[in-house]
């Protein structure tokens, strides 16, 4: 099962603060 990367980064950062959970942010040029 692949990683479910999200693209709504602003929302991810807000949720990270609320959930006190780290974020992995991937700057990618790989084929999608």
Partner 1 sequence: MWPDPRVVKFVTDNFIPARVHVKDDSALFQRFGEKYGAQWTPTILELDSSGTERHRIEGFLPNDDFLSQLMLGRAHIAFAEGKWDEAEQRFREIVEKFPDTDAAPEALYWAGVSPYKATHDNASLKATATAFRERYQGTPWAKKASVWG
> What are the residues binding partner 1 (CB under 8 A)?
1-9, 12-13, 15-17, 19-30, 32
Least distance in Å: CB of 30 to partner 1?
7
In the complex, minimum distance from the CB of residue 11 to partner 1, in angstroms, rounded to a whole number: 9
Residue owning tokens 């942010």: 25
* Rounded to 5°, angle at Cα 24 from 7 and 22: 115
12: tokens are 């991810």
Least Cβ distance, residue 19 to partner 1 (angstroms): 7
């Amino acid at each position: 099962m692949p990683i479910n990367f999200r693209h709504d980064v602003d929302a991810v950062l807000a949720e990270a603060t609320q959930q006190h959970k780290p974020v992995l942010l991937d700057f990618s040029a790989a084929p999608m």
